[in-house]
Amino acid sequence: METVVSGIRPTGNLHLGNYYGAVKSFLQMQNEYNCYFFIADWHSLTTRPKPEDIIQSANTILAEYLACGLDPEKATIYVQSDVKEVLELYLYFNMNAYLGELERTTTFKEKARKQPDNVNAGLLTYPTLMAADILIHKAAKVPVGKDQEQNMEMARKFARRFNSMYGVEYLKEPESFSLSAKAVKIPGLDGSGKMGKSEGNCIYLMDDEATIKKKVMKAVTDAGPTVPNSEKPEVIQNLFTLMEVVSSPDTYKFFDEKWNDCSIRYGDLKKQLAADINVAVAPIRERINEFKSNTDYLNKVARIGAEKSRENAAQTLKEVREIIGFRSVGF
Ligand code: TRP
């Protein structure tokens, strides 16, 4: 079975866009591949989180993914900082990563612009840590969004460079598995673009019924159709797109017909949409709350995941050390 590795940023809560995008893909992949999913808490140090927030953020995102159906029996789910082996591989890649190529990465340039008073070496070497995350498990495939394509190129480059440096065919180049291409695109509620945390147009899996309703009722609409069977403008199409995902086909058809004969009332559509979103997320929300309050369980998942991940990582590292010319005493 092919190996899949993916890192999850422990920032913020999952929203509908994440759920019908990355999360659904992960759920499918855990049935078809040997998956390693980890919470990228080392990566998050580049932005100086408070010590008391680190475990909290990891637990929150872990609880949310488990609530969505990520299954520790199927996938190896772990916290990055529990698998120290990754750091050794990171060091080896850093020894052969060049300042110029790291500086040219778009994500680095963007981060450096966003936090000009903290352009640290961790930011610069983000792609080498990411390559180590991936190559420590010899991943064949990595599910990532478009924004990570350049980091994936770097990971492939570091794998090739390692091989040619030591005259081996050891590390395989990991393939990207485009999440954006396959996933349903969930629009935001502000009328344009997709749902995204930085856009502030999200419905979170954690939102309660009243919050969902408030957000949906505030969604942008227009004055309504005047010509039968006309094309829907983007703001309206977005509501229908959401409805297609969360509502029954009958409900969708009902409102689509109302649109077509110009008798649609947006208030009714929104009420229905809010109710259907709530039905879709309520069971997940309940499970998130259960998992979040059960830190014993979360710790157990993290511990088992760390053990499985470390076992595999140690094997890779042993081989890498031998290739480089180190002794592997203790491995
Ligand atoms: N850089 C990824 C992101 O921002 C997170 C990540 C870190 C990752 N390490 C990874 C993703 C390894 C895939 C594989 O979303």
- The string of pLDDT tens digits covering residues 20-79 is 999 999 999 999 999 999 999 999 999 899 999 999 999 999 999 999 999 999 999 999
At residue 331, the pLDDT reads 67
Does ligand 1 lie within 6 Å of residue 79's CB atom? Answer: no
What are the distances in angstroms from CA 9 to CA 34, 60, 130, 252, 291? 21, 11, 12, 34, 19
Same-domain status, 220 and 132 = no
Same-domain status, 169 and 221 = no
Same-domain status, 245 and 299 = no
Helix, strand and coil content of the chain, in percent to the nearest 5, comes to 60, 10, 30
Q: In this structure, is residue 110 part of a structural domain?
A: yes
- The string of pLDDT tens digits covering residues 159-193 is 999 999 999 999 999 999 988 777 788 999 887 78
Q: In this structure, is residue 240 part of a structural domain?
A: yes
The span from the CA of 158 to the CA of 2, in Å, is: 20
Same-domain status, 62 and 127 = yes
In sequence order, the 6+-apart residues with CB closer than 8 A to the CB of 4 are 29, 33, 34, 35, 36, 139, 140, 141, 142, 143, 177
- The string of pLDDT tens digits covering residues 4-25 is 999 999 988 999 999 999 999 9
- For a substitution probing ligand 1, which of 11, 81, 133 has the most ligand atoms within 8 Å of its CB? 133
Q: In this structure, is residue 271 part of a structural domain?
A: yes
pLDDT at residue 281 tops 80: yes
The answer to whether 205 and 12 are in contact (CB under 8 A) is no
Atom number in ligand 1 closest to CA 80: 9
Same-domain status, 24 and 115 = yes
pLDDT at residue 123 tops 70: yes
The answer to whether 262 and 226 are in contact (CB under 8 A) is yes
Same-domain status, 105 and 218 = no
Same-domain status, 241 and 302 = no
- Determine which one of 24, 157, 197, 258 is catalytic: 197
- The string of pLDDT tens digits covering residues 76-114 is 999 999 999 999 999 999 999 999 999 999 999 999 999
Q: Is 194 a catalytic residue?
A: yes
**Among 44, 60, 33, residue whose Cα is nearest residue 9:** 44
Q: In this structure, is residue 252 part of a structural domain?
A: yes
CATH code of the domain containing 216: 1.10.240.10
Please tell me what DSSP assigns to residue 115: -
Q: In this structure, is residue 222 part of a structural domain?
A: yes
Q: Over the chain, what is the mean pLDDT?
A: 95
Same-domain status, 279 and 302 = no
Total domains in the chain come to 2
Same-domain status, 22 and 40 = yes
Whole-number percent of the chain with pLDDT over 90: 90
Same-domain status, 28 and 96 = yes
- What pairing do the DSSP bridges indicate for beta strands 175-178 and 141-144? parallel
Same-domain status, 225 and 307 = no
Atom number in ligand 1 closest to CA 151: 1
Q: In this structure, is residue 203 part of a structural domain?
A: no
Question: Domain range for residue 123?
Answer: 3-185+294-324
pLDDT at residue 207 tops 70: yes
Token output for 68: 């969505």
Same-domain status, 117 and 140 = yes
Q: In this structure, is residue 12 part of a structural domain?
A: yes
Token output for 36: 């390693």
- Determine which one of 24, 74, 185, 194 is catalytic: 194
Q: In this structure, is residue 195 part of a structural domain?
A: no
Instruction: Report CA dihedral (212, 217, 222, 226) to the nearest 10 degrees.
Output: 110
Q: Is 35 buried (19+), middle (13-18) or exposed (0-12) by CB count in 10 A?
A: buried
CATH code of the domain containing 139: 3.40.50.620
Does ligand 1 lie within 6 Å of residue 133's CB atom? Answer: yes
Q: How far apart are the first and last CA of the chain?
A: 25
